């Protein structure tokens, strides 16, 4: 019987070195940050983003294109589904981030394009841009409301703790009295003082 495959996460100790400014040639790829605007507008998914970045990394400037096979893209991105790879390529082509064609041998080749600027992208999709801004406002209001609720909860928690401390200081401990009569007399005295404070 084959062993069940598990997705157990192994904790790995990192380098402890700040990434930005400490990468050498060959350890990084220039990444167009405008891609996150495409993600925010819902034009591409995080999976599409991973496929785009891999195509960008595989892009051969001498040839003018990238030419990985579908199985290679599945291995490089750890996307198990061939259909998901094809769907990502379709999406990337629809939004103008890549262009596909075939070589004479029949293999796909991919030209990888620079994304539009935020201004250009927003002008193409005013409805999506409007919804994005509405969602941002809603999230900010929710975050502010959650912050207020948390602060109120903390205040109430502190008040309860303070009341408990005061109660422990005021209410006599039965064990410290010689007999029940003295204990209950002390409680009556506390009650009398409380009534006087109220009056």
Look at the pTM and tell me if it is higher than 0.75: no
174 token code pair: 């039965």
| CATH for the stretch 35-124 | 1.10.10.10
The number of residues making up the chain comes to 199
pLDDT digits (tens, 9 = 90+) for 73-89: 999 999 999 999 999 99
Whether 9 shows a pLDDT value over 80: the answer reads: no
Q: What is the pLDDT of residue 12?
A: 85
Of 47-56, 85-94, 129-138, the poorest mean pLDDT is in 129-138
pLDDT digits (tens, 9 = 90+) for 49-64: 999 999 999 999 999 9
| Domains of the chain, residue spans | 35-124, 126-198
CB 72 within 8 A of CB 110: no
3-state secondary structure of 192: helix
Q: Residue 26 — pLDDT band, cuts 50, 70, 90?
A: confident
Place of tokens 């200081």: 169
Whether 106 shows a pLDDT value over 90: the answer reads: no
Helices and strands in the chain, H and E counts: 7, 2
- For residue 98, the cross-strand partners are 112
Q: Average of pLDDT values for 62-67? A: 94
Report the chain's mean pLDDT, rounded to a whole number. 84
CB 52 within 8 A of CB 44: yes
Instruction: Say how far apart CA 3 and CA 6 lie, in whole Å.
Output: 9
Q: What is the pLDDT of residue 177?
A: 54
Instruction: Say how far apart CA 156 and CA 152 lie, in whole Å.
Output: 6
Q: Average of pLDDT values for 21-32? A: 83
Q: Average of pLDDT values for 167-186? A: 59
65: Cβ contacts below 8 Å, ≥ 6 apart:
59, 109, 110, 111, 112
Question: What is the b/e burial string over 162-181, where b = at least 16 CB atoms within 10 angstroms of the residue's CB?
Answer: eeeeeeeeeeeeeeeeeeee
Q: What is the pLDDT of residue 98?
A: 97
Residue with more model confidence, 194 or 19 = 19
53 token code pair: 């970045």
CB 66 within 8 A of CB 58: yes
Q: What is the pLDDT of residue 1?
A: 45
Residue with more model confidence, 76 or 156 = 76
């Amino acid at each position: 019987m084959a062993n069940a495959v598990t997705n157990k996460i192994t904790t790995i100790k990192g380098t402890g070195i700040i990434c930005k400014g400490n990468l050498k040639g060959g350890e990084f790829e220039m990444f167009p940050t405008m891609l996150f605007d495409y993600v925010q507008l819902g034009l591409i998914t995080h999976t599409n983003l991973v496929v785009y970045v891999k195509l960008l990394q595989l892009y051969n400037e001498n040839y003018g294109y990238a030419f990985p096979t579908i199985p290679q893209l599945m291995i490089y991105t750890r996307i198990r589904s061939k259909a998901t790879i094809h769907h990502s390529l379709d999406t990337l082509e629809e939004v103008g981030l890549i262009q596909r064609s075939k070589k004479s041998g029949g293999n796909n080749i991919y030209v990888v394009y620079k994304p539009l600027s935020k201004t250009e992208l927003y002008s193409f999709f005013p409805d999506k841009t409007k919804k994005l801004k509405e969602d941002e406002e809603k999230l900010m209001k929710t975050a502010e409301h959650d912050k207020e609720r948390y602060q109120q909860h903390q205040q109430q928690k502190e008040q309860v703790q303070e009341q408990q401390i005061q109660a422990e200081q005021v209410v006599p401990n039965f064990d410290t009295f010689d007999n029940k009569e003295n204990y209950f007399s002390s409680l009556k005295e506390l009650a009398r003082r409380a009534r006087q404070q109220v009056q």
